[in-house]
Each structure stands twice: as structure tokens, then as C-alpha cells.
Amino acid sequence: MTSTNYPHLAELGWNDFFENQLDDERPAENAIVRVCSVHSMVLFVMGAEGKRQLAIPGNWLSSDPEDRPTVGDWLILDETGQWPVRILKRQTLVTRRAPSDITSVQLVAANLDTLFIVTSLNDDFNLSRLERYLAIAYEYGVTPVVVLSKRDLVTAEHAEDCAAQVRALHDGLDVVVVNALTIDTVNALFPWVEKGMTATLVGSSGVGKSTLVNTLSGEERTPTGAIRDSDSKGRHTTSSRTLYTLPNGGLIMDVPGFRELRLPSCEHGIAKVFADIIEIGLHCGFTDCLHDGEPDCAVEKAVEEGRITRRRVENYRKLLKEQAAQDDEKQQAKIYARQRRVADRVAGKTSGKKQRRRR
Ligand SMILES: Nc1nc2c(ncn2[C@@H]2O[C@H](COP(=O)(O)OP(=O)(O)OP(=O)(O)O)[C@@H](O)[C@H]2O)c(=O)[nH]1
Ligand SMILES: [Zn+2]
């Protein structure tokens, strides 16, 4: 439900979730702004009176990453309208592991509704990479939509075959096939970035994220990179995170940091993507089966019977290994056990089979 107290803000994504945090405090509409981009000392924000620049308060610069503003945040300003004094609780928050230190977290984007996961139908097409991004979307409660680009460069059969493989990754997963260069097919993305909704695009370099933003905008918003013919890899042409308003009133965030694919803590998202494997795993002989050659492994049996692909099982194991990162095998087994508990809670299922511990 959209608030009526701040009509201009509703167009920028404001809703009751944020309004309910104001309690008795009723700031003027121009004292509430949304962050469009963050630089080392300043923020660009948009609000009822358009776009402007604000200095970041000194005490915010030294606070924990989660207490610092990120793109998409809603801020309350002081009575002078010059200084942000409060970051409203985020409806969704996407984080990633810092490139330099895997134990610390960086904020990627706040208050997203939709994650457009872009992959091209030619060289970039890779189901395991899509599963990675799906885990992020499910972990953070952002709706994923897989966008298969470069439709014009492949045959109709190839496009349909790829789309079918992607749809099979998860029940109800939305998949849209586009030629990112023209609005005819890109139009199909608007239901996920309607007026007041916020979306972002993720995917490898060169798959067409900037091209999609430009086509959705009806103008050149972000530079697109020329592809090197030999390897179909684009140059990294986008370097800072920015929130744009589209002509239809939707909001789109360009987030280059997502390309590095360092998964943050994502166990619930992974459990949701691979719920089928977890369910089959409830029938393995060992409660702590890693589906890696153990005897009486139900997952291995399902692979042999063609009920599940080996690629998918291997990707599941790989993502969980990443989650367990530097931990030993015991730690990994704990994660598998937690996955089973998540599956039980989500589906209310147990196999009924009596399982024993390996160690
Ligand atoms: N034929 C065709 N070319 C496309 C399509 N989408 C993107 N391209 C081209 O692919 C190249 C790379 O596109 P970009 O939009 O810059 O890719 P990106 O994902 O933003 O890349 P980075 O900014 O490096 O992450 C450009 O030359 C685009 O014109 C498409 O659907 N069809
Ligand atoms: Zn097993």
C-alpha cells in the first residue's frame, strides 16, 4: 500500500514500510530523501525537490558498514535540510564480501524490489552462474528475473532451449528473452520496474546491462562498451553505483560491484535454489552425507537416474564449500545439517528414513 502523506516520495519508492518508522515525528516532505549515489565524502540524493548533493556526517564515515548510507537508502534530514540525521530501516539490503577481506561485509544496494539477472544467449550462458545470482536474490528477498540478452545473435531454437533450461532451475522463475538494443522486447521488463519500484541489473561484463538501462530509459544513461570480437568479453565500462529514474517512473540501480560474484553469507538463499537436492538428500544413508561418493547416497542415485543433473549437484556443493570457506569438513557438515533443517522448516518435510551418523 502506498502512503498518501508524501505523494512525491511514493514516486521514488516510498511506502508504508518507511512511513511506519516515522512514529510521531512527521518530517516535511523535503526533509526525506533517497540516496542515488555515494562518494567518499558526499552523497547525491533525490527527493520531492529534485536531486542534490549532501555532505556525509563525519561520525557516519567512521561507523560500521551497515550504519553507513548506501545507494537506495532513505534518509531523514535535520531542520536545516543540509545534514542527514537518520537512515531508515531497510526493506531489503544486498551485501557482499569485501574484496580485500572476506570476513567484512560491504553494502551493495538497499531497498531493491527486483534483481534482473542478465546473461547473454551466446558465450556467457551459464546455468551455474545463474544459480549463484538466484541464491543472492532469494537470500535478500529481492524478486529475481532472468534476462537472456542478445536474442538477435542466436537462432530462435537456441533462445527457446536456453530459456527452458533456465525456467527448469526453479519453480515459477521468470525468464525474459530480449534484444537489449531495441525496446520491442525490453518492454517485457517493465512489470518488474513499474512506477515506484526499484530494480537492479547484475551479470558479467559485456552481457548488456548498460544497454538495457539505456533502452529502458529511452536515452543514453550509461556508456556501453565495445565488445572484443575474439572472446565476446566487454570492457568494464560502468564504475559507480547510481540510482536512475526511468521515464515510466520505475527506478533502476546500476551496481558494478555485483560482477565480482563473491557470495556473502547466503545459506538460506542456496537452500531455496537447491531445495530439490536437499529434499532428495534426506534419503541418503548418512545424515551428514556430502553427496560426494559416499555409499547409499540418494543424490548420486538421482543423478544416475537422470532426475537431477550432475552439474547442478556439483554447483550446489561448490557454493556450500565457498560458504564454509576456510572451515574444515566438520564445519561443512554443520552447514549441510542446517540446510536440512531449513528444508524441513520450508517444506515441512522429512524422508521418514532412519539415518545414521557417519562419524
Ligand atoms: N546485438 C546485440 N548486442 C548487444 C545486446 N546487448 C548488448 N549488446 C552489445 O554488447 C556490448 C556490451 O554491452 P554493455 O551494455 O556495455 O554491457 P554491460 O553488461 O553493461 O558491460 P559492463 O559495463 O562492462 O559490465 C555493447 O557493444 C552492446 O551494444 C543485444 O541484445 N544484442
Ligand atoms: Zn548423499
List, for residues 45-93, the tens digit of each pLDDT value.
999 989 999 999 989 888 888 899 999 999 999 989 999 999 999 999 9
Rounded to whole angstroms, how far apart are CA atoms 224 and 184? 19
Q: What is the mean pLDDT of residues 149-177?
A: 97
Residues spanned by the domain of 320? 267-347
By most ligand atoms within 8 Å of CB, the mutation choice from 224, 255, 258 for ligand 1 is 224
ipTM: 0.98
> DSSP 3-state assignment of 144?
strand
Query: Does the pLDDT at position 331 exceed 90?
Result: no
Whether residues 182 and 225 fall in one domain: yes
Distance 210 CA to ligand 1 centre (A): 7
Cell, residue 128: 551455474
Q: Would you say residue 49 lies in a domain?
A: yes
Give the long-range contacts of residues 160-165, CB within 8 A, separation 24 or more. 162/121, 162/125, 165/127
176 and 303 together in one domain: no
- Alpha helices (runs of H) in the chain, residue ranges in sequence order: 7-10, 16-19, 58-61, 127-140, 156-167, 183-186, 209-217, 267-273, 275-281, 298-304, 310-324, 329-347
Instruction: Answer yes or no: is pLDDT of 315 > 90.
Output: yes
* Closest C-alpha among 257, 155, 245, 274 to residue 202: 257
- Summarize pLDDT for 276-299 with one digit per residue, the tens: 999 999 999 999 999 999 999 999
Shared domain for 279 and 196, answered yes or no, is no
Contacts made by residues 50-54, CB under 8 angstroms, sequence distance 24+? 54/82, 54/83, 54/84
The verdict on the CB of residue 41 being under 6 Å from ligand 1 is: no
- Domains: count for the chain: 3
